[in-house]
């Protein structure tokens, strides 16, 4: 079984267990609460960096990255550094995160936050709304067309935007009008190989009406600039920041460097 299949199998069990503890009916109440959050896509459009700075403690490909990191400290640091948005991995089993990371990041900064999860069930979208996310991730490699449509429609109806992640050109067929952002993941989730050229190759194939996001493996200002020149507006970066004891300081340096390069260009 590859890692993606393992994660999805685990998610099925996790959702079942969670729904036993907190029934869907209870989560649905949040639909009526005014916990509106800033728009994820607007923040990227209006930001000079477009950086989506990620909070992740560990990953299946790298193991421990920053096991003791505290979301409530990192979040305001990312905001002051110049990130447009934040991504919080809420999976515990494989990434060492949890829902409290997202709520504490939400309370500690005003950045829009994407719930970075392996979403396969409506329950997880109601949860994303309840914990204060602005957007959710849907992954093309684990969903079919019907599921993508149903989950994206539900997300929009709850006021959440959708970032749809693809790895291969054929996954573009799954896109629908309830998706606001399309991301190309440079990490092959089955083999863990990272290839920035994956974004370059697929950039021209992306629908113009959706914001294009380059995800994973971005580790130098030159890569960022090349992706920007290829048309990407959002840049999802995790490990490059999180592997340092002060992720926000690295994010600030990165933002300053790319800003100076953008101005010169
Ligand atoms: O990061 C992993 O090892 C991983 C493995 C299997 C599924 C997903 C995985 N990562 C999730 C992500 O997409 C990244 O955290 C995100 O794009 C940031 O990537 P990076 O800048 O390389 O940390």
ipTM: 0.98
Tell me if 174 sits within 8 A of 141, measured CB to CB.
no
Establish whether residue 127 lines the binding site of ligand 1, counting it when its CB lies within 6 angstroms of any ligand atom. Answer: no
Domains and CATH numbers, the chain: 3-29+37-264 (3.20.20.70)
pTM: 0.96
Phi, psi of 119 (to 5 degrees): -90, 125
CA of 187 to the centre of ligand 1 (A): 7
pLDDT tens series, the chain, 265 aa: 888 999 999 999 999 999 999 999 888 877 777 667 899 999 999 999 999 999 999 999 999 999 999 999 999 999 999 999 999 999 999 999 999 999 999 999 999 999 999 999 999 999 999 999 999 999 999 999 999 999 999 999 999 999 999 999 999 999 999 999 999 999 987 788 899 999 999 999 999 999 999 999 999 999 999 999 999 999 999 999 999 999 999 999 999 999 999 865 5
Rounded to whole angstroms, what are the CA distances from 41 to 63, 64, 245? 31, 30, 29
Buried (b) or exposed (e) across 110-120, using 16+ Cβ within 10 A?
A: ebbbbbbbbbb
243 lines ligand 1 (CB under 6 A): no
Cα gap 236→216, rounded to integer Å: 6
Question: Could you give the CA distance from residue 253 to residue 55 in angstroms, rounded to a whole number?
Answer: 17
* Cβ of residue 91 lying under 6 Å from some atom of ligand 1: no
Q: Which of 10, 53, 59 should be mutated for ligand 1, with most atoms under 8 A from CB?
A: 59
């Amino acid at each position: 079984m590859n890692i993606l299949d393992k994660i999805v199998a685990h998610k099925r069990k996790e959702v079942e267990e969670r729904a036993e503890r907190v029934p869907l009916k209870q989560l649905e109440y949040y639909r009526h609460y005014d916990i509106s959050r800033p728009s994820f896509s607007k923040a990227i459009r209006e930001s000079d960096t477009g950086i989506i700075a990620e909070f992740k403690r560990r990953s299946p490909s790298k193991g421990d990255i920053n096991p003791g990191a505290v979301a409530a400290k990192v979040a305001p640091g990312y905001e002051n550094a110049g990130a447009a948005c934040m991504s919080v991995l809420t999976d515990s089993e494989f990434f060492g995160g949890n829902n409290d990371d997202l709520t504490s990041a939400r309370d500690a900064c005003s950045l829009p936050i994407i719930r970075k999860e392996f979403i396969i069930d409506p329950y997880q979208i109601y949860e994303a709304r309840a914990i204060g996310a602005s957007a959710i991730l849907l992954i093309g490699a684990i969903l079919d067309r019907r599921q993508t449509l149903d989950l994206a429609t539900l997300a929009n109806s709850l006021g959440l935007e959708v970032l749809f992640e693809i790895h291969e050109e054929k996954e573009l067929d799954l896109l629908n009008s309830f998706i606001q952002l399309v991301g190309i993941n440079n990490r092959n989730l089955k083999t863990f190989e990272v290839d920035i050229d994956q974004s370059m190759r697929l950039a021209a194939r992306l629908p113009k009406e959706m914001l294009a996001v380059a995800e994973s493996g971005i580790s130098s200002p030159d890569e960022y600039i090349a992706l920007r020149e290829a048309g990407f507006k959002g840049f999802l970066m995790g490990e490059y920041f999180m592997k340092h004891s002060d992720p926000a300081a690295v994010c600030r340096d990165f933002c300053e460097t790319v800003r100076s390069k953008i101005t010169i260009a």
